[in-house]
Amino acid sequence: MATAKKAPAKTATAAKAPATSAAAPAKKRTPNAAFMKALTPSPALAAVVGSAPLPRTEIISKLWVYIKANNLQDAAIKRNINADAKLKELFGKPQVSMFELAGLIGKHVK
């Protein structure tokens, strides 16, 4: 003979959760100090972004300005960057993905 299954008992933990997330004021995000540390670019990187020490975020931003100014973003696959003579020194290959950019730049800063 088949017996009917009982419905699971409701737990009181869901009812106890206070709604403090809506009442909490929004905090302004503070930048990570590691990203804001000024780093000296290598001579190959300095040819593209300048020789002054810059934070990692500014180096990536200036690199993108150079890529867009010289029309180096691949037309078919926008994620890829075609290297010219200066960027080929940095990348070591003729084409890289935009996701590889930060890792490749890390080798050229101190």
What's the pTM value of the predicted model, to 2 decimals?
0.68
Q: Is the pLDDT of residue 50 over 90?
A: yes
Write out pLDDT tens, residues 82-96. 999 999 999 999 999
Mark residue 61 as left, alpha or beta (left: phi above 0; alpha: psi -120 to 50; beta: remaining).
alpha
Rg of the chain on CA atoms, in Å: 25
Task: Please provide the CATH number assigned to the domain covering 38-108.
Answer: 1.10.245.10
Whole-number Å distance between alpha carbons of 48 and 87: 8
Write out pLDDT tens, residues 59-72. 999 999 999 999 99
User: What residue segments make up the domains of the chain, in order of their start?
Assistant: 38-108
